[in-house]
Chain A
Amino acid sequence: MSFTITCPICGKRNLYEFRFGGEDRGPRPEETDLTPETWAQWAMMNDNVSGIQKEWWYHRDGCGAWFTVLRDTCTNREMENGTRPHDAENPASNGQGRPYPPFVDRL
């Protein structure tokens, strides 16, 4: 059970019970004066953080709740509540999150 997601209702469960719902893109843009550019940015473009990102999950095989978690995309581990994404902590990181593990030459 190394891959787990914590549902706010059911608790820590196997990740295969859940469906990934995309990274958190913030509120849906206002429909008045909505341009195709703004819509495409919100609906399709994403940040692809390598590091901690806020994302939506759906407890498909459980209670059916939608909720957000903070997960590290480099390790698949979810962060404890209150952990802030790297982007927010460190604006200088340019949204790149934390670096990859160092290269090890095994040749």
Chain B
Amino acid sequence: MFFGPRRFWGDNPFKSSYEAVIIGGGVHGLATAYYLARDHGLTDVAVIERRYIGYGGAGRNTAIVRANQRTPENVRLYSEGLKLWPELIDELDFNLMFFDCGNLNLAHSEAGMGAFRLQVATAQFMGVRSELLDAKQCQELVPLLDISDRPKYPILGGMYHPPGGTVRHDAVVWGLARGAWARGVHIHQQTEVTGIDTADGRVTGVRTTRGNIRTPKVLIATGAYGAQTARLVGIRLPIQVLTIQAMVSQPLKPFLHHVVSSGTYHCYCHQSLKGELVTGAHMDPWPNYTTQVTAEYLKHQAEALTDLMPALKSLKFMRIWSGLADMTPDMAPIIDGNDPVEGLYLDCGWGYFGFKSGPITGRYLARFMVEECCPDILQPFSLKRYRENRLMGEISTPPNYGPWN
């Protein structure tokens, strides 16, 4: 029997007032709405989405999750996030296809190995499984890897992070949307927020293309458009929006059982459950709001993949797409609230790390919005860290180390 396409959530009337409005129907916005309803009983919530939920970064990322970040503040958050997936699958009653196959990052220089040592030490100190491997051990994990001296940048070793893996990103969006809607949250798609009203330093409402909404609490969770949305209330953010491209190949029989990445080659890949090789990594280095793809990048990706795994040489790419990454100077997100506008919460600047941390951030943000007191775990990510010159060291991750330094 054929069941046509069906939505997991329903339509609700567009009300003129809500207790909280979440701008952005991606993983972060929907997760916050879900946890507001589930943990705090705050169900009078609207999620306002300009296009359709999951249109932006939530539906364009390459579904990789991990918790081996560079700085302790980040590792703490991402580690909790990683442990949340199985829990979320149970409570949402939705198969998010969490596959903890492990992540393998490759190093091609002593500088890269040095960066891995630091990163592995941080992860282990924080109780996250992560280990250093030599080239031989890398090949045992991924037999296709060429560990000879032939590649342009021969593989010296790697960092293996067993608890990481992949999650079906669209399922996360659908599952959270269904969970939030079932608890009373209104999801308004094709509604653009055109203004945020304030009075006496407090948020009083938002203006949308479907009418005005009165609300004391607004969360900006608009992903790459975060800086633009924040400017509606006059907040400038240190963000640059860069295009990041990804692509999938034709389906192959199972051959790759881990997420493999190389910062030096600017390339990562994993094999999806359909057999396609999902790959991407390089960002176009100039900011733009297009989601254009480029031949330059397709060529780069093919060269990198076949240099690392020569057996892939006749592999065909099927499709390519791009998304937007909102990069901050220290590659860590900006999570803040009630500063300088009461009732206004920020969740942006995630760059290309936004997917893996979505649900956990939503859970803490929901608490932040209800208790109006920033949970410890989110405090390091405040916006004022930039004027306090307290940037996080996330930028010193191995992708920035190669044979050139």
Q: Across the interface, do A48 and B240 meet the contact criterion of CB distance under 8 Å?
A: yes
Within 8 A of A (CB), among B224-238: 227-228, 231-232, 236-238
Q: Tally chain A residues at the interface, Cβ within 8 Å.
A: 29
Q: Across the interface, do B239 and A36 meet the contact criterion of CB distance under 8 Å?
A: no
Q: Across the interface, do B388 and A73 meet the contact criterion of CB distance under 8 Å?
A: no
A16 lies within 8 A of chain B by Cβ? yes
Main secondary structure of the interface of B (DSSP, over half): loop
A48, A94, A105: the one within 8 Å of B232 (CB): A94
B13 lies within 8 A of chain A by Cβ? no
Give the Cβ gap from B211 to chain A, nearest Cβ, in Å.
Answer: 17
Give the Cβ gap from A9 to chain B, nearest Cβ, in Å.
Answer: 20
Q: Across the interface, do A76 and B292 meet the contact criterion of CB distance under 8 Å?
A: yes
Q: Across the interface, do B51 and A103 meet the contact criterion of CB distance under 8 Å?
A: yes
Within 8 A of A (CB), among B269-301: 285-290, 292, 294, 296
Q: Across the interface, do A94 and B288 meet the contact criterion of CB distance under 8 Å?
A: no
**A3-B294, A73-B289 given as contacts; is B387 within 8 A of A46 (CB)?**
no
**A76-B290, A103-B50, A105-B190 given as contacts; is B239 within 8 A of A46 (CB)?**
yes
Give the Cβ gap from A55 to chain B, nearest Cβ, in Å.
Answer: 8
Q: Across the interface, do A76 and B288 meet the contact criterion of CB distance under 8 Å?
A: yes
Complex contacts, B241 vs chain A, CB 8 Å: 48, 73
Complex contacts, B154 vs chain A, CB 8 Å: none
Give the number of A-B contacts (CB < 8 Å).
72
- Fill in one digit per residue for B196-227: 1 if any A CB lies within 8 Å of its CB, else 0: 00000000000000000000000000000001
- Fill in one digit per residue for A39-50: 1 if any B CB lies within 8 Å of its CB, else 0: 111001111101
A96 lies within 8 A of chain B by Cβ? yes
B14 lies within 8 A of chain A by Cβ? no
A37 lies within 8 A of chain B by Cβ? yes
CA distance A95 to B227 in the complex (A): 11
CB-nearest residue of chain B to A72: B288
Q: Across the interface, do A19 and B290 meet the contact criterion of CB distance under 8 Å?
A: no
**A44-B238, A45-B237, A46-B238 given as contacts; is B228 within 8 A of A19 (CB)?**
no
CA distance A103 to B239 in the complex (A): 25
A20 lies within 8 A of chain B by Cβ? yes
Within 8 A of B (CB), among A60-107: 73-76, 94-96, 100, 103, 105, 107
Interface centre among A15, A103, A105 (most CB of B within 10 A): A103
Q: Across the interface, do B236 and A47 meet the contact criterion of CB distance under 8 Å?
A: yes
Complex contacts, A22 vs chain B, CB 8 Å: 240
Complex contacts, A39 vs chain B, CB 8 Å: 387
A-B CB contact pairs (8 Å), 15 listed: A15-B286, A20-B285, A36-B388, A41-B236, A44-B329, A47-B231, A47-B236, A73-B290, A74-B288, A75-B290, A76-B288, A94-B231, A100-B50, A103-B50, A103-B190
Known contacts A36-B387, A76-B288, A76-B290; 14 further A-B pairs (Cβ under 8 A): A19-B285, A36-B388, A36-B389, A41-B387, A45-B237, A46-B227, A46-B240, A47-B231, A48-B287, A73-B288, A73-B290, A76-B286, A103-B50, A105-B190
